[in-house]
Amino acid sequence: MSTREQTPVQQKVTREIRVIFQPMNRVLTVPTGTPLFAAIGMAGIAIESICGGKGTCGKCRVILTSGTCMAAPETGTSCRLTQKERDEGYYLACQVTLTGDAEFTIPVESRIDSPQILITLPVAPGEIEPAVVRYRVETAPSDGLPFASQSIRFAGYSGPRPRITDEQYHALLAAETSQAATLSTVRSPPTVLAIAPAERVSPLYGVAIDLGTTTVAGCLARLDTGAILATGSTLNRQITYGEELLTRIGYAGSPAGLATLQKAAARSINDVIETLIRTAGIRSTDILDVCIAGNTVMNHLLCGINPRYLELADAPVSRVPIQKTAQEIGLAVHPDAGVYCLPNVSRFVGGDVIGDMITAGMHTSEEVSLLVDLGTNGEIVLGTRHWTASVSCASGPAFEGAGIRAGMRAMKGAIDHVHVDPVTGEICWSTLGSAPARGICGSGIIDLAVVMVQTEALDFAGKLNFRHPRVRTGPEGAEYVLALAPVTGTGRDIMITQQDIDYLMDSKAAACGAIAVLLKRYKCSVAGIRHLYLAGAFGAYADIGNAVRFGILPRFTAATLHSIGNGSLSGAYATLVSTRYRTAAEELARHMVYIDLLVDTAFAEEYAAALYIPGKQELFPPLS
C-alpha cells in the first residue's frame, strides 16, 4: 500500500504570518486566519470598540499600509466607512481576517490614549472597624495535659471559634516567643490568615476597588488606621469585547466567553493592584482584604457567574453580597484574602450604586434626596433613610462619547467643553491636554447641544436647521460641522450628524424620563427634592447648568447640588475599613424598591415628553 493510500485525508497546515502595527512598531506572529481584532489584543494595543466586534460602531478603524487581508462583506448595519476611507486603505479591525504578512497603522482616532479616569480620595468613615484584625495569641498552660490537648486563645477576641489549620495550630503551640494571629471575619466561621512573631508583624493592608464597565479604580489603605497609601486606575480590559453591558452579557453566554471576561476583569484589578503596591512599596501578599463596588453585570462576570438571565425584564437578582477568596477569582493578593462585593439590587442597579449612596449619606438622611449616576449605564435613586426607590436606564453611553460618530472617551485631544464667545459670537472649544481635537467626549457633547440650540442650529425637537451656516448635507444626511480638517488632530472634519443628535435625544429622554417616573410614583415635585447627588464623571466634569438646559436633568429649584466624584470607590473604601458600612450596604440593598422601566407603563409617557428640549414644563419651571 502506498503512503498516499495510508493517509487519504490531508492535514491542512496553518502558515505563520507576521503582522506589524504602527506607530507602536509592534510585531506579532500569528496563524493565518487570525481575526485582526484578536491580533491587536494579543499585541497589547488598546483600540476603541463599542459594539464588541459587530462592525456597527465604526470605531476600530485601521489602515492597511502593506500586505494583504480579507474583509467581511459590508452590510447595511456594518457599513461605517465612506468610499473615500476605503480608497485610502481603511478597514474596521473587527471585520478583517489576516491572510498574509501585513502592516497596519492604528490611526489616532482609534487609539485609547491617556484616558481621563476619575479618582476622588475617599472620606474617612469615622470609627475604624475592619474585617481583618490582628490579635495577640495566648497559650493556655498545659497542666500536665498531652501536647495535643493544649489550647490557644486570641486576647480581646469574642466571636465564633475561628478556623485554623493544623499547621498553624501546632506552630503556635511550639512557638517560644509571643505570637500574633491575623484573623479575617469576612466569612463564617472566621479564618486565621497568618501567624507571625508579635515583634515582627507588619501593618495590615486592604484594597478598595471600583470595578466600572469602562474603567477600574482603586485605593490601598491600612486596615488598622484607615490611612490611604496609594491610588491607581486603568481601563477595564473587557472593553475589547464591547462597551455596552448587553454586549458583554451576550459574549458571556458560552463557558469560554464567560471565562475570558472573568479573567479580563481580574487582570484589570490586578493591573491596579500592581500600581498600588509599587507606589506603597509593599508585597502583594500583604493585602489581606478586598472590597469591590461594581454594577450587577460586573459582579457576575468577575465572580464567574453566568449573567444571561439579566437580559430578562424584572429578573429576580440576589441581594446577598457575593463573597469569594482572592484565590478563587485570581486576584494577586494574599490567596486567602476575602473579596467582598457590595450587594446588588437588580439587573442594572448594583454595588456601585450602593457605594454611591453610602458616600452621599443617603442611609442616614431625613431629607428627600435624588442620586444620579450617568455612566455607561444610568442609575437613579430617590429617597430618605426610611425608604429608597431606584431605576436604571440606558442613557449613559452617549454622555461618555459612545454611539456618536465623532464621539470618544475623555482622553487627550477630546473636545471637553464648547461655548459661544459673548463678544465675537464665535463657537469656541477646549480639548483635554490642549491637544489638537480628535473628537468630542461626553461633557463636550452636552455643551455643544446647548450651543446648537442657542445659535438656532438645532430646534426644540432636536432637528438640525439647514439654514444655519454650520449645517450641511453629508453622506448620512444633515450634519453640523464643529471643526474643519485643517485644525483637527485627525485631518478630518469633526461633525455631529442628525443620527448622532437622534441618539443623544434618545439618551437624554431616557434619563429625564426615568427621573420623572420616580418623582411621579412617589408624588414628589422638583421643588420637593432637597439634595441632588451627582456621581461619577458626569457629575465631576459636565456643566450641570447645560445638562438642565438640554433637558437631561430636571430643574430642582430647592435642591443643594453635591458632586460626590467616584462615590463607588468611596463606598467600597468605607466597607473596607468598617464592617458597620457593610451592614449598612446590605440594609440598603435589602430594602430598596426597584422599578424596571421595561415593564413600567408610565415610562413610555415620560420618555415621549422628554423628547423635546428641555422637556415637560413641570420639570423645568422658569427661573425666578
Q: Which helix (H) or strand (E) holds 548?
A: helix 544-550
Neighbour-count burial of 157, counting CB atoms closer than 10 A to its CB (0-12 exposed, 13-18 middle, 19+ buried)? middle
* Final residue belonging to a domain, choices 329, 351, 373: 351
What angle, rounded to 10 degrees, do the helices at 601-609 and 498-521 form?
Answer: 130
Nearest alpha carbon to residue 182 among 169, 174, 167, 192: 192
CATH number for the domain spanning 610: value is 3.30.420
Q: Return the amino acid letter for 568.
A: S
Q: Is residue 118 part of a domain?
A: no
Q: Is residue 126 part of a domain?
A: no
Does residue 338 share a domain with residue 224? yes
CATH number for the domain spanning 38: value is 3.10.20.30
Does residue 612 share a domain with residue 556? yes
Does residue 271 share a domain with residue 177? no
Q: Is residue 37 part of a domain?
A: yes
Q: Is residue 11 part of a domain?
A: no
Q: Return the amino acid letter for 12.
A: K
CATH number for the domain spanning 253: value is 3.30.420.480
Residues of the chain with pLDDT under 70: 1-14, 50, 52, 74-79, 113-125, 140-150, 396-397, 624
Domain count, the chain: 5
Distances (CA, A) of 256 to 251, 262, 296, 300: 9, 10, 20, 15
Beta 96-105 vs 16-22: how paired, if at all?
parallel
Beta 205-211 vs 96-105: how paired, if at all?
unpaired
Does residue 510 share a domain with residue 585? yes
Distances (CA, A) of 201 to 180, 194, 224, 488: 8, 10, 13, 57
* Final residue belonging to a domain, choices 167, 184, 200: 200
The partner residues of 339 in beta bridges, in order of sequence, read: 290, 324
Question: What is the structure's pLDDT at 591?
Answer: 97
Distance CA 552, CA 68 (A): 47
Task: State the residue range of the domain holding 309.
Answer: 205-351
Neighbour-count burial of 82, counting CB atoms closer than 10 A to its CB (0-12 exposed, 13-18 middle, 19+ buried)? middle
What percentage of residues in the chain have a pLDDT greater than 90? 63
Distance CA 253, CA 259 (A): 10
Beta 560-565 vs 531-535: how paired, if at all?
parallel
* Final residue belonging to a domain, choices 472, 501, 530: 501
Does residue 333 share a domain with residue 245? yes
Q: Is residue 174 part of a domain?
A: yes
The partner residues of 291 in beta bridges, in order of sequence, read: 208, 340
Neighbour-count burial of 256, counting CB atoms closer than 10 A to its CB (0-12 exposed, 13-18 middle, 19+ buried)? exposed
**In sequence order, what E strands does 260-322 have?**
287-294
Does residue 156 share a domain with residue 44? no
Convert 316-347 into a string of H (helix), E (strand) and C (coil): CCCCCCCEEEHHHHCCCCCCCCEEEECCCCCC
Does residue 346 share a domain with residue 228? yes
Does residue 330 share a domain with residue 265? yes
Question: What is the structure's pLDDT at 2?
Answer: 37
Distance CA 48, CA 94 (A): 11
Does residue 579 share a domain with residue 608? yes
What angle, rounded to 10 degrees, do the helices at 498-521 and 442-454 form?
Answer: 100
Q: Return the amino acid letter for 142.
A: S
CB 54: neighbour CB atoms within 10 A? 16
Question: What is the structure's pLDDT at 376?
Answer: 76
Q: Is residue 122 part of a domain?
A: no
Q: Is residue 410 part of a domain?
A: yes
Does residue 520 share a domain with residue 384? yes
Q: Is residue 125 part of a domain?
A: no
Does residue 513 share a domain with residue 492? no
Beta 414-420 vs 439-440: how paired, if at all?
parallel
Does residue 169 share a domain with residue 94? no
Question: What is the structure's pLDDT at 141?
Answer: 56
Question: What is the structure's pLDDT at 126?
Answer: 72
The partner residues of 254 in beta bridges, in order of sequence, read: none
